[in-house]
Amino acid sequence: MKSFRALLFGFTNLIGFLAFSWPLYLPENRFLGQTLEATWISVILGAVAVFIIIAQISDGLLDSKSVAIVSILVALISALRLLGAGAVGVEPMWFLLILASRVLGAQLGFSTAVLAMLVSALLTGGVGPWLPFQIFAAGWIALGVHCFPKSANQRLEIAALALYGAFASFIFGALMDLQLWPWLLGTDTQLSYQPGDSVAANFSRFLTFHFATALAWDLPRAILTATLISLAGRAVLTSLRRAQSRLGVSWNWKTIDEPVTVQKAV
C-alpha cells in the first residue's frame, strides 16, 4: 500500500510536469499543434493530478492532531496570500509555506502547500485554468525545502532557507510564465511558442519572454520572502517544533500508517 501510494504520488507529479513543459517539445500536428487545444489539455491533466493528490490527502493518512495543525497552517498561509493580492510581487505567504514544510516533512509539506493554494484561490476569487499550475508550483517549492539536510546550527539553517526562499520565488515566477506563455503570445510574435520547433529554440524564446516581463514580480517576491525568513524564521521554526514535541505528533506518513492500520484491525 505504501509503495502504491508513493508510485501514485510520483505519477501525479509527472503529469504536472508534463502539463507545465509541453510548449517546449509538443510535436506539430493537426490537433496538438494548435495552442488553444493543447493548453486546455494541459489544464485538464493538471486538474486531474491535483484531484488525485487531494484524494490521497483525504484517505485517512493523518491523525486528528496532525489535521488540526495542518488546518491552522493552511488558514494562515491563505490569509497571508490575501495580504498580497493584487500587489506586484508582494506575496508574504511563501515564507510561512517554506518554514512549515521544513518542519512538516516532504509529503505533508507538499500537501499543506496544495491545500493552502486551493483555499486561498477560493478566498481571492483566483479560480481559473492557471490554478492547477499554481498548486503544483507551490507543492514543488514545499518539496524543494528538503533538498538540503537539516543543520544543528540554526543560524546556518535560517540562512539556507532564506537563500532557498529567494531562489524558489524566481522558480515560481518562471513556472507560472511557462504555463502562461502560449496563452499570452499565441504564435504570431518573435517570442511566441512555435509548435514543432526544437526544444532549444522554444526554450530560448521562452527565456527571453520571461526575463523581459517577470523581474518586476519575481524580484520583490524574492526579496520579501528572504527577508521574512531571516527575521521570523527562528521563531516560527521553534514554535512549530515545540508544537510537534508537545503534541507528540508524527508528521511522517510512514509512521502514521501504523496506528491507522491497528485501529482498522481492532
pLDDT above 80: residue 142: yes
Burial of 111 (0-12, 13-18, 19+ CB in 10 A): buried
pLDDT above 90: residue 4: no
Number of domains in the chain: 1
Q: What is the pLDDT of residues 47-91, one digit of tens each?
A: 766 676 666 666 655 666 777 788 889 999 999 988 876 566 678
The pLDDT assigned to 22 comes to 76
Residues 6+ apart with CB under 8 A from 133: 19, 20, 46, 175, 176, 179
The pLDDT assigned to 256 comes to 38
Q: 197 with 161: CB under 8 angstroms?
A: no
DSSP 248: T
- Rounded mean pLDDT of the chain? 78
pLDDT above 70: residue 35: no
User: Which tops the pLDDT comparison, 252 or 136?
Assistant: 136
Span of 100-104, 122-126, 195-199, 249-253 with lowest mean pLDDT: 249-253
Q: What is the domain extent for residue 261?
A: 2-265
Burial of 101 (0-12, 13-18, 19+ CB in 10 A): buried
pLDDT confidence tier of residue 224, bands split at 50, 70 and 90: very high
CATH code of the domain covering residue 140: 1.10.1760.20
pLDDT above 70: residue 177: yes
